[in-house]
Structure formats: C-alpha cells, structure tokens
Amino acid sequence: MLFHTLGKLLEVRLQTGIILAVIFAYCFKKLFGKNETDKWKSPFAEDSRTPLTPLVTDHAKRDETMKRAFTKKLANEKKWDAIVIGSGIGGLSTAALLSKAGLKVLVLEKHYKCGGACHTFREYGYEFDVGIHYVGNFIRPTLTRTLLEQISDGQIKFAKFDTNVERLIMDAMSPSQREYTITSGPDAFENQLIKQFPEEAQGIKEYFRLLKRAYSPQGSMSFFSFKLLPLWFINVLRFFGLPRLLSDFFALSKCSVKETVESHVKNKDLRYLLSYSSNGFLVPPSRISLPMMALLHIHCCEYGSCYPIGGASEMPYRIVPVIERSGGRVLMKANVSQILTEGGKVVGVRVGNKENSMVDIHAPIVISDAGMHNTLLDLLPERVAEKSPAWPLMKTIRPSCGNLSVFLGLRGTPEELGLTAQNIWAHAGSDLEEMVNQIFESTLPDALEKPYPALFLSSSAAKDPSWKDRYPDRSTLSVLTCAPYSWFSQWSGLPTKKRGDDYNTTKNTIGQHIVDEVTTLFPKLKNAIDYVSVGSAVTIEHFLVTKQGGTYNMEHDITRFGEEQTALLRPESGIEGLYFTGQDVTSCGFASCLYSGFLCASVVLKKRYLLLWELFNLHRKLYGMPKDRNDLCF
C-alpha cells in the first residue's frame, strides 16, 4: 500500500512538473517574444473532412498528382511563402498544415514520384510498397488520427489486422524451428506470455510496466515537448537533472532493450519474444533504448496494427491536393542542389547543378525533409551550417543502416498462396544480438554460405482489402533485412539500372539466396513466383537520397534519444529562415514523421504550443473528451 501511494504521488509530481515547464516556457514566450500567432489562420479552425470518395485506380489519373514534373515555369509561377525540400510524410504534413494556414508552399522532390518511403512502384503488373508495411493505432480516434484526417480531407482509411498480428519463426532453417504468434490488444501480449511462461510472470509484468512508464503521456510527450521548449530552458532543466525526474522517457532512456530484458527474465525464447521487434530499428538490442521500444510496441501491438486501404501511396495522393488547393505545388524531378543564403540567412533554394539549367527559387522560409546530414553537410556552406545547434551531432550520430529488399510478384490470390495480413519475422537463430552483429560482421561470400540471419516478410496483397479488385489473381510479398553498405558501396552514385553486370549479379545472388530460404519456409510460393526485384542500400541512396543508403537517415541507437540529442534534433535549425522536418526530428515510422510535420508547422506559424491546443479542441469537438489519457497521443 505504501509503495502504491508513493507511486501515485510520484505520478502526480511528474505530470505537474511537465505542465509547469510548458506553462513557464509559454508565458516567457508570450511576455518577451513577438506575438505573431494571428498572422496566419489556424489549420484546425474547422473540420476539413469530406465524404469518403471511391479509390482512384486509374494509374494515369493518379500520376497527374504523383508525378507532376518540375519546370522553371511552374516553379516560378507565383511568389512562395515557403519551400519544402523532399516529399516524405514529414515534408508533406508540414506543407499541408502551412497550406491550411494560408501559406503558398512549394514542395520539391528529387524522385520522379512523391511520397518518400510512402510511395509505391509498379512493375510487370504488380504493385509494391517500399516503406509502409504496417502502421499502428489509426483505427481508434486519437490526436494522431485527427491530425492525419485534417491534412488529407479524411480520405485515408485503414484496414485493421486480425488479433494475431505477428508470426515469429525462430531457428527458422534448423530442425529446432519454433513458432510463436503475437496477440494484439490492451495487455494481450503480456497476458499471453504469462500463460506461456508462468514461471517468469513477475519479470514479464515488470518489463511491461517499464514500457508503459516510458510510453505514458508524461513520458512520451516530454520527448516531443523537448523539440519545442527553448534550448536555454532545457539546459536549465538538464543542469538540475530535472528531465530524468520529470519524465520516465528520459529516466529510462539509457536503459537498453537487451539489458532490461536480460535483467528481468531468464528463458531464452522469452528474451527473444520480448525484444524481437527491436530488429526493425536496424541496430542490435544492446543499442536500442527502452523508451523507443515502448513507443513501437504500444503504438503497434497494444492498440493494433493496420494498413492503408488502397496502398501506401494513398498517403501522398490524398495530401497533395490539400497543399495545392491553397495555391501550393508539389513538383517531382526537382533536385535541390543548394540552399541559398545571404548574410547567414536562408533566402531560397537552387534546383539543378548545371550552369545552363540551374533555377534559383526564392522564399523567406525553407523547410528540409532531406535529412539533417544532407542539409547541413551538403546543401549549406559550412560557415552557415555550423551555426546550427545540431551541427556537432553531424559527427557523433552515424547514418542508419540500409535495407536489402526482395520484392516478389506471385501468381495466385493471397488465400491460394497462404498469405495473411500478419507480419512474419523469420530468424535463423534466437539471439537477436548475435544475429544482427553477424550480418554487419560478415562479408558477402560468408553471408551466402549459411541462412540469412534475420528476415521480415510482409504482403500488401493480403493486408489491403482493395487489392483483389485492383490486381485479381495476383499477390505480392516483400522480404526485408539489413545489409552492410560496404557490400554495395562501389556502385554508389551510379544511376539506377545502369550499374553494370557485376552489381546485378551481386544483388541478385544474395536476393536468390533469400528467396530460397523463403520458399523453403513457405513451399506454396515456389511455383507461383512470376517476378523478382532486389533493392540494395545504393537503391535507397538513389531514390531517398540518404547518406550511405540509410533507411532511417540518422541511426536509431541509444545515444540519439538522450536528453541533449533529443533537444538538438528539433524543427528550428538555428539558422534564420531554415527549419527541419522528417524522421531526424522525431524518429522513424509514419506516425512519428507525421508529428515531425506538426512540430515544424507549430514553430513556423509561431504557434509553438497553441497549435496543439487547437488540434485538441477540434479533436474534442469531433470525438468528445478522451476516455483515457493514452487516447490523446500516439
């Protein structure tokens, strides 16, 4: 009883501390800062949802939105209030919010199709998603869902996975192969594990208690608030050691997934089950912070995973019209080669790098969704870039590892081939730390001599209820893993499909090795394969323009989410006129990048804290007061 009472008092103290910190910073801003919040209207002044319209399946019509190419005439047709570099969900969400506030926004994308990791590609009658394999918590009404609805006219709908959301295969290619199914729902996974491992019940309960502590509003919201609070104020909090006292997110941020799991449970299989999804961060469990694991698990497992009906490209397809309705443009094949500056202030961008075809476009605001490494190291003069508080992190935070992707086009329906909406994790062992390290320490010849350590399988055909009407009698399967950039670095910078026979032989050999493993595990697929395409880190480097083909831009290791790094990786660049959005501001994942756009728009519109209040007010009008505090966020 005593500990329970103390826990309650501590919880109240944590919440009070966060509230006081936000109020103090807000009052300081109101008293001593310039009040420019009335310059633009609120993006959430009214509900902009419209009645749901049918899916647009005409590819030519979709391409009019998704593939509008850059021309000098279109780029200079009007005076722009803001320019966004990159059309990932971070860039598009920022642009949409600014557009709804009344700004004319120009979005420039290097790729021939918009959407970043939300885009899809079609080949030989098949369609593949490249980055959205599942999202979490968009079925119930949360602030996150309301935010997405308001920047897409309410046109994006999701299909929820079944309760058995994931399937795990351990020691996949050996006689000791074992399988587990992960159940989603509030406390469902925890209760499932207690039944399966009753002797470890106490450790299981404690592990999930820590996850919930890190995720709780006073935990996870403190992570986001650090992006908005003034740096001087955060430095004061850090000087007195307050972040770790006020926020469980920061109190637990130095705890790794591996350390936490191993200190609470002993069973080898149970340790694997408690940390399997950490593999999605592309670093070993010893280098993943527990709070990040908490955000992933609770967002996608406690509240269920889902998939956008119509495919991942529905995201950009439905957001672009909101931007253009206010006079904005989203243009592809627009390679921004430089951010223009005058007297240390950003004044626009340069598209192209050839003297006879360069185009300079001016705007008082430039927002980069191109990643902080690219922005500060490549797009700005060093004398300007080093003024950013984030500049020192360019040397201390490495680029993320890249994915190796194998895309399979299959003859037959998902039902005929046994494909389900479940995510499948197929691991050649049961020690995640060992498997991830094995990949990074192997040479390519070594990797071909044994089963590939870790594979993730996802079928958009099985997840999307609209698939059977759009692609009858066909299915797809995407197989993802990670691979060292060094295996493919010699082909960096060469255009896609022009990297030569050696490159094709290398990637196809490793791709076939993975296909052989998959068809051994799922024999029904072997004779159904109609198309195979393999993408490497240099593929990602070319299309997503990330350093060393990193899937997530900056590496998601434990140090990145400490107090100082969290505060410095923020929308404000410290350079007048320049702002950041995207996963470097927050973290990987669709919802996280969506919030990065929200944070960026909050700062640009001078509504640093007010915009959240405006979103909450609209959410309350649409759905009523949240029944539970966890209904507010992620």
pLDDT tens digits, one per residue of 105-141? 999 999 999 999 999 999 999 999 998 999 988 888 8
3-class secondary-structure state, position 281:
helix
Q: Is the pLDDT of residue 19 over 80?
A: no
**pLDDT band at 220, cuts 50/70/90?**
confident
- Find, among 219, 207, 303, the residue nearest to 257 by Cα: 207
Taking the C-alpha atoms of residue 597 and residue 201, their distance in angstroms, rounded to an integer, is 40
- 162-303+398-549, CATH topology level: Polyamine Oxidase; Chain A, domain 2 (3.90.660)
Place of tokens 């642009």: 95
- Map out the domains of the chain as residue ranges: 36-122+138-155+312-390+569-631, 162-303+398-549
Bin 516: left if φ > 0, else alpha if -120 < ψ < 50, else beta.
Answer: alpha
Identify which has the larger pLDDT, 40 or 366.
366
Contact 390, 569 (CB under 8 A): yes
Mean pLDDT of the chain: 90
Q: What's the token pair of residue 15?
A: 């919440």
Strands 178-183 and 82-85: unpaired
Q: Which residue(s) pair with 425 in the sheet?
A: 168, 456
CATH class (in words) of the domain with range 36-122+138-155+312-390+569-631: alpha beta
- Tokens 């006020």, located at residue: 246
Q: pLDDT of 376-418, one tens digit each?
A: 999 999 999 999 999 999 999 999 998 899 999 999 999 999 9
38: confidence class by pLDDT, cuts 50, 70, 90 = low
DSSP 344-380: TEEEEEEE-SSTTT-EEEE-S-EEE-S-HHHIIIIIS
Decide which of 34 and 284 is more confident: 284
* Alpha-carbon distances of 200 from 23, 165, 191, 271, rounded to whole Å: 43, 23, 12, 11
CB atoms within 10 A of CB 493: 10
